[in-house]
Amino acid sequence: MNKNRMNWSRNVLAVGVASAVLSGCAALTPSSSDDALSLSFVGRYSTGVFGESAAEITAYDAATQRAFVVNAQAGNLTVLDLSNPANPTLIDTLTVSQVAPNAVVNSVAAQDGWVAVAVESSPKTAAGYMALFDAATLTLQGYVRVGAQPDMVTFTPDGQYVLTANEGEPSDDYQVDPEGSISIVDISNPQNMTVRTAGFVAFNARRDELRAAGVRIFGPRATVAQDLEPEYITVSTDSRTAWVALQENNALAKVDIARGVVTDVLPLGFKDHGQAGNGLDVSDDDNGINIQVWPGVMGTYHPDAITSYQHNGRQYVVTANEGDARAWGEDNDAYWGPEEASDSAYGGNLSQGFVEEIRVKHLVHNSGFARRLGDDMPPHLMSLANGALLNPEVFGYCGATAGDAGGCREDDQLGRLNVTWTQGYRTDERGFPVLFNADGEQDPFGDRLMYDQLFAYGTRSVAIWSADGELVWDSGDMIEQYLASDECRLGEARNQPCAEFFNSNHDEGDAFESRSDNKGPEPEAVAVAELNDRMYAFLGLERMGGVMVFDITNPQAPAIVDYLNTRNLWAEDPEANLATVGDLGIEDIKVIPVNQSPTGETLLLTGHEVSGTVSVYRVNLTQ
């Protein structure tokens, strides 16, 4: 092994141990509730913009009955009159040009007449801002500098603080990599706001410990503080503790708000798709719905949106386990290198990017990695070895033998599944790859990696965790099983079978099963509400669309109680039918409780990045 390979291997996470998963895969209707809950469509506002993220994150101010919606395409906020939820209308547009040149809005939250906005600077690697607006007058009250790339903003329940999750992604060419952080802004005096930033520098010396525990820290040139990327925040009901999703790191950060420090980084572990109840449909090319267990395939939780609630005096965190691959420089030709000649033995320039995603059939092809040089073969992978194998003792069930992945590579088996190459291959006690020859024999002079496990993105589930990051419950394969069932129906009128459009994509028509190879229905957004003494979670499915409702009153035994998908056209081209297609690509859910609702009913406010729509649903409860 050459020196560059050895140095790089120290920065690659090799985790092969799955955490225990408590899977709830049986109940599809609640057995302990006297209430019947259902969702119904109320109204919609459309930007008329398809596929440009013109309606993403939403917020609602009760005093003015206004909705505030992030328009990422324009980099601003859309302000809607929601006094008549059946007909949301445009009031105004808020920009952040007075905060910083070329700045854009990333997120919004509203509470007690204030609108907090996460403002990303240009370039994104520079420090961003949190800006505070008056919800009634729409005037800027003030702004403060926070960390790089504030990606999410939220109020503490007591209204004293605004928190921002500063993701700190690297530049597109991977030349600048700011540290991730969480900023805590005291807004008790809006004209003189103060900010403290909780960072991760104190964890830099704990890199090996965190990686051994399962935190995915693998940026090839990053410190721990640079590698950790805060994505989403939820705050305890007493406003003392925040949990922050570190999506790409597959972990949660725990923050003491009063002290302004990160107290812990909690690894979320992995989901064993070889266990009963944890099956998944892995192929978009197997001519049908085939939800089954796949021994050796692990799911990485990678939560996007998170929320929290109390039950019997204990705090729980709920996660929408979307999955997300790191892809820095994926459009940078300098990273990939030319197809036939290159300036390095690895194809491209390792300093110009980092891409971890690859299909199984390209990872374990008998001809090795060079066949896809300059195409989609990550140079960092080529710096490790010249090819890879599947352990036949694990993957023999799908045809793997010594030196040959066999039928496992086929499109109707594991071949199409997108996985990360950074995990699952065998390593020695130093973390270096154990090499094999092309015949599948361990050989110090070999040039093949041996994958004992394959790690896919997301877990196609919703999960509940303790305050200390212990898994309490995971929905297993409930979501895909429900979408494949006869009970499931699509459209505002619920008149189309879900199974006919199982795992469809959100931006194309007639897309049956097109996302099975890549995160499935893709849980994206989640919100919770207590209604009639029961706790419900509202889960948005980004690709398949719609909101799935779980009764989570008992954190150990949740159940699906309803699913409403307001996409009305499924076989037609959605862009050509934007006026009638409905909602595509749900990005955010906010609950409007009865005491704040313009109609006196519990409502949901949803943002949809593909259809560019903002919709309102009614939560119907009957005794």
Token code pair at residue 143: 């702004």
Q: pLDDT confidence of 301, banded at 50, 70, 90?
A: very high
pLDDT of 339 reads: 59
Of all residues in the chain, what percent are helix, strand and coil, respectively (each to 5)?
15, 40, 50
Cα–Cα distance for residue pair 311/314, rounded to 1 Å: 5
Q: Which of 161-175, 323-337, 588-602 has the lowest mean pLDDT?
A: 323-337
- Over the stretch 361-379, which tens digit does the pLDDT of each residue have? 999 999 999 999 888 899 9
373 or 402, which is more confident? 402
Mean pLDDT of 385-400: 98
Contact (Cβ atoms closer than 8 angstroms) between residue 390 and residue 399: no
Mean pLDDT (the chain, rounded): 93
In the predicted structure, residue 340 carries a pLDDT above the cut 60: no
pLDDT of 19 reads: 35
pLDDT of 529 reads: 98
35 or 312, which is more confident? 312
Cα–Cα distance for residue pair 382/379, rounded to 1 Å: 5
Contact (Cβ atoms closer than 8 angstroms) between residue 294 and residue 280: yes
- Strands 261-267, 89-94: pairing is unpaired
Residue 178 is classified by DSSP as: P
Cα–Cα distance for residue pair 206/109, rounded to 1 Å: 34
pLDDT of 88 reads: 98
Cα–Cα distance for residue pair 459/28, rounded to 1 Å: 19
pLDDT of 592 reads: 98
Mean pLDDT of 76-91: 98
In the predicted structure, residue 265 carries a pLDDT above the cut 80: yes
- Strands 454-457, 387-390: pairing is unpaired
Cα–Cα distance for residue pair 567/510, rounded to 1 Å: 13
- Strands 387-390, 448-451: pairing is parallel
Mean pLDDT of 136-157: 98
Strand order in the sheet with 140-148: 104-111, 114-120, 127-134, 140-148
Contact (Cβ atoms closer than 8 angstroms) between residue 70 and residue 93: no
pLDDT of 373 reads: 85
- Over the stretch 225-235, which tens digit does the pLDDT of each residue have? 999 999 999 99
Residue 383: closest CA among 357, 359, 415, 351: 351
Q: Which of 187-196, 325-334, 402-411, 609-618 has the lowest mean pLDDT?
A: 325-334
Cα–Cα distance for residue pair 456/324, rounded to 1 Å: 10
- Over the stretch 423-470, which tens digit does the pLDDT of each residue have? 999 999 999 999 999 999 999 999 999 999 999 999 999 999 999 999
Q: pLDDT confidence of 258, banded at 50, 70, 90?
A: very high
Longest dimension (CA), the chain: 72
Mean pLDDT of 161-165: 98
Q: pLDDT confidence of 388, banded at 50, 70, 90?
A: very high
Handedness of CA 275, 278, 281, 283 (dihedral sign): negative
CA within 13 Å, CB half, 2: 9
Residue 286 CA, distance from chain mean position: 26
pLDDT of 64 reads: 98
In the predicted structure, residue 253 carries a pLDDT above the cut 80: yes
Residue type, 57: I
Handedness of CA 128, 132, 133, 139 (dihedral sign): negative
398 or 28, which is more confident? 398
Cα–Cα distance for residue pair 88/74, rounded to 1 Å: 20
539 torsion bin: left (phi>0), alpha (psi -120 to 50), beta (else): beta
CA-CA distances (angstroms) from residue 526 to 303, 320, 540, 613?
Answer: 10, 6, 6, 18
Cα–Cα distance for residue pair 314/238, rounded to 1 Å: 12
194 or 32, which is more confident? 194
pLDDT of 422 reads: 97
Tokens 């009955």 label which residue? 65
Burial (0-12, 13-18, 19+ Cβ within 10 Å), 194? exposed
- Over the stretch 13-62, which tens digit does the pLDDT of each residue have? 333 333 333 444 434 443 344 458 999 999 999 999 999 999 999 999 99
- 113 strand-pairing partners: none
Task: Encode burial over 411-420: b for 16+ CB neighbours within 10 A, e otherwise.
Answer: eebbbbbbbb
> Dihedral, CA atoms, 353, 283, 294, 435, nearest 10 degrees?
-40
The pTM score is: 0.94
Map out the domains of the chain with their CATH numbers. 3-13+327-456 (no CATH), 36-201+229-265+481-622 (2.130.10.10)
pLDDT of 275 reads: 98
